[in-house]
């Protein structure tokens, strides 16, 4: 039977913006044609204008007052010319700043920082020549709008992004500078010189006795991309897999989809945990396959998209048959379980509903928005602007609770989108919003890049793009196919979300939970049967995006063991 829980139940550091706590029993949204059921969702918090880094960030000058613009040069020294591949003739130079004393951790190029947004600038480089300085000045893309808008002591670091085959500025082969501390003043034009002296190395896959690394070309994806694209995965074997005297010789499979920024290389950490003594009492005994959800444009979610290609099709028609043939895996769909957190959780649900003939169940914690009427704090079908509501209040993107009744918002949607634009004005940064666009959007006319959901400077939403995104709205698909997707959800999908999710993801989960409950009541009132099953959406009181993860993992481990046992696949 479907469990409907009514408990009133990305990691941040506090800012100076206090907000009321989310309320899961707030008034419902109005009814619409695309989503006829009006479930309860949390009220919209109202951020205040004061920003966390007010000491360092300076307001724009008064109209007509000219401020000197800093000039920053970045050079690949002649003696370091061998750092760059001879084929890398162009790229994008990006500057990351980090205010001295900021509550962020790591080096500047670990940005963008959600917990304390920091300045970013970039410029396109058409011809990279050792010894010739590249200049970032007023004509470059800045966030905020220019270096004259902030002052104080900053650490600054440059990265030259030349790797088009991997996501983001931290991809292997990109060149980086050392961290340099600079003192910026508003009434003087500083000249800052940086040098690219290091190359980001390729990941080294460790040799572990219970792990096998998979990396082979995908004919489907390679044909789509016009270059070699490979399937990558880390396969983790249970302790008894190589024991020829073991009772079990053929094993169930648990497919793990990492969250945003996670890779197949995460298998190394999980393998070490599984090797710990007594782990069989906690973890289901199965073969674990850690998939790679990354593309050059970000987390691809294993959806068949215009930009990333037929990722879901390639997974189920190429990688899974390959694993099935190579390893001793049970071939029945009921022996294949999906699980993931955050973006990986959304992907787990998407795959379970799209490929029921391949997968038997999904266990998902803190999934990306399940209902685009509540896409974080936005209603994509009604809102005209992604950045501000009709009341003029800026929409928050990231929060941290600071007690039972208040929370801080270090980052707004406007800031997140515009930081991504500063990294890559054409929408290919591989960061969160650009990643969603690569998953859901059509190709922009005349350019091989995703069509933007909104104008990155004004926030005005493009309704044509919203319509394209709606094909990936899980709640909308369920509401139009109760006998198909709705039935699969209640039979196969378990969802756990924190009541105070750092990215407001509980709002969409609550809305979908209430929609399913309302549909079940309507069927009962009409004397019709609605499918029952072990599926549920659970809201954990007080938990955030990160703090709910160990809670969900502990619960899911037991439930996966029981699911596999009932299906005859676990001792």
CA distance 380 to 372: 6
pLDDT at 2: 35
Q: Are residues 173 and 312 in the same domain?
A: no
CA distance 538 to 492: 14
Does a structural domain hold residue 415?
A: no
Q: Are residues 173 and 299 in the same domain?
A: no
Q: Are residues 494 and 357 in the same domain?
A: yes
pLDDT at 563: 96
Q: Are residues 149 and 291 in the same domain?
A: no
Q: Are residues 505 and 367 in the same domain?
A: yes
Domain carrying residue 487: 226-371+478-566
**What would the DSSP string read from start to end of 160-189?**
EE--TTSSSTTSTT-EEEPPEEEEE-TTS-
Domain boundary, last residue among 181, 199, 217: 199
Q: Are residues 248 and 116 in the same domain?
A: no
State the pTM of this model. 0.89
Does a structural domain hold residue 265?
A: yes
- What token pair was written down for 207? 């040799």
Sole residue written with tokens 């938990």: 543
Does a structural domain hold residue 426?
A: no
CA distance 489 to 515: 12
Does a structural domain hold residue 532?
A: yes
Does a structural domain hold residue 242?
A: yes
Domain boundary, last residue among 148, 182, 199: 199
CATH code (residue 267)? 3.40.50.1820
Q: Are residues 239 and 184 in the same domain?
A: no
Provide the residue-wise pLDDT of the chain in tens; the chain has 571 residues: 333 332 222 222 222 233 323 333 333 333 333 333 334 444 444 544 344 444 444 455 555 566 677 788 999 999 999 998 877 778 999 999 999 988 898 999 999 999 999 999 999 998 888 999 998 877 789 898 766 567 789 999 999 999 988 999 999 999 999 999 998 887 788 889 999 999 999 988 999 989 999 999 999 999 999 999 999 999 999 988 888 888 888 999 999 999 999 999 999 989 888 777 666 678 898 999 999 999 999 999 999 999 999 999 999 999 999 999 999 999 999 999 999 999 999 999 999 999 999 999 999 999 999 999 999 999 999 999 999 999 999 999 999 988 887 888 999 999 999 999 999 999 999 999 999 999 999 998 767 789 999 999 999 999 999 999 999 999 999 999 999 999 999 999 999 999 999 999 999 999 999 999 999 999 889 988 888 889 999 999 999 999 999 999 999 999 999 999 999 987 7
CA distance 467 to 380: 9
pLDDT at 66: 64
Within 13 A of 418's CA, how many CA atoms are on the CB side? 19
Q: Are residues 260 and 306 in the same domain?
A: yes
Please calculate the CA angle 478-479-481 and round it to the nearest 5 degrees.
60
CA distance 409 to 401: 9
Does a structural domain hold residue 5?
A: no
Q: Are residues 195 and 231 in the same domain?
A: no
Q: Are residues 168 and 240 in the same domain?
A: no
C-alpha 148, offset from chain centre: 32
Q: Are residues 167 and 279 in the same domain?
A: no
Please state the domain count of the chain: 2
CA distance 1 to 518: 15
CATH code (residue 114)? 2.60.40
CA distance 134 to 76: 9
Q: How far is the CA of 561 from the CAs of 84, 234, 286, 332, 570, in angstroms?
A: 49, 21, 9, 16, 7
CA distance 465 to 363: 30
DSSP state of 70: P
Does a structural domain hold residue 30?
A: no
Q: Are residues 191 and 235 in the same domain?
A: no
Does a structural domain hold residue 40?
A: no
Domain boundary, last residue among 152, 180, 199: 199
């Amino acid at each position: 039977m479907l469990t409907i829980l009514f408990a009133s139940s990305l990691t941040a550091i506090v800012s100076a913006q206090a907000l009321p706590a989310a309320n899961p029993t707030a008034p419902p949204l109005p009814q619409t044609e695309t989503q006829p059921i009006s479930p309860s969702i949390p009220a919209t918090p109202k951020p205040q204008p004061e920003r966390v880094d007010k000491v360092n960030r300076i307001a724009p000058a008064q109209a007509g007052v000219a401020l000197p613009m800093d000039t920053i040069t970045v050079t690949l020294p002649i003696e370091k010319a061998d750092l760059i591949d001879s084929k890398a003739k162009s790229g994008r130079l990006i500057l990351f700043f980090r205010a001295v004393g900021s509550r962020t951790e790591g080096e500047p190029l670990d940005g963008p920082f959600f917990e304390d947004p920091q300045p970013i600038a970039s410029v396109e480089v058409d011809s990279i020549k050792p010894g010739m300085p590249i200049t970032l000045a007023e004509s470059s893309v800045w966030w905020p709008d220019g270096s004259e808008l902030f002052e104080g002591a900053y650490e600054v670091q440059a990265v030259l992004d030349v790797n088009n085959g991997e996501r983001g500025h931290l991809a292997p082969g990109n060149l980086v500078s050392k961290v340099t501390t600079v003192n910026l003043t508003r009434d003087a034009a500083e000249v800052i010189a940086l040098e690219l002296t290091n190359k980001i190395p390729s990941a080294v896959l460790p040799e572990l006795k219970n792990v096998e690394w998979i990396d082979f070309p995908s004919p489907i994806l390679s044909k789509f991309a016009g270059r070699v694209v490979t399937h990558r995965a880390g396969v983790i074997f249970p302790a008894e897999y190589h024991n020829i005297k073991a009772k079990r010789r053929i094993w169930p499979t648990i497919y793990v989809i990492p969250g945003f920024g996670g890779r197949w290389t995460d298998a190394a950490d999980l393998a070490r945990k599984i090797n710990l003594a007594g782990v069989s009492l906690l973890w289901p005994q199965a073969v674990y396959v850690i998939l790679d959800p990354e593309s050059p444009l970000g987390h691809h979610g294993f959806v068949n998209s215009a930009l990333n290609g037929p990722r879901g099709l390639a997974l189920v028609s190429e990688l899974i048959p390959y694993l099935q043939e190579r390893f001793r895996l049970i071939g029945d769909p009921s022996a294949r379980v999906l699980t993931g957190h955050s973006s990986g959780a959304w992907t787990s649900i998407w795959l379970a509903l799209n490929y029921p003939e391949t997968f038997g169940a999904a266990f998902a914690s803190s999934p990306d928005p399940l209902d685009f009427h509540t896409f974080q704090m936005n209603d994509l079908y009604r809102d005209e602007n992604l950045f501000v509501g009709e009341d003029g209040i800026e929409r928050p993107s990231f929060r941290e609770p600071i007690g039972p009744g208040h929370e801080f918002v270090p980052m707004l949607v406007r800031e997140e989108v515009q930081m991504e634009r500063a990294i890559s004005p054409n929408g290919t940064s591989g960061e969160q919003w650009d990643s969603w666009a690569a998953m859901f959007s059509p190709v922009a006319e005349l350019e091989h890049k995703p069509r933007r959901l909104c104008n990155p400077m004004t926030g005005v939403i493009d309704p044509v793009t919203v319509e394209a995104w709606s094909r990936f709205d899980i709640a909308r698909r369920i509401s139009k196919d109760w006998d198909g997707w709705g039935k699969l959800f209640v039979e196969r999908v378990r969802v756990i979300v924190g009541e105070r999710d750092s990215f407001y993801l509980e709002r969409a989960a609550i809305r979908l939970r209430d929609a399913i409950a309302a549909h079940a009541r309507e069927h009962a009132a009409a004397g019709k049967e609605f499918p029952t099953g072990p599926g549920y959406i659970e809201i954990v009181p007080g938990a955030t995006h990160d703090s709910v993860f160990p809670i969900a993992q502990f619960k899911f481990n037991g439930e996966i063991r029981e699911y596999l046992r009932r299906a005859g696949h676990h001792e």
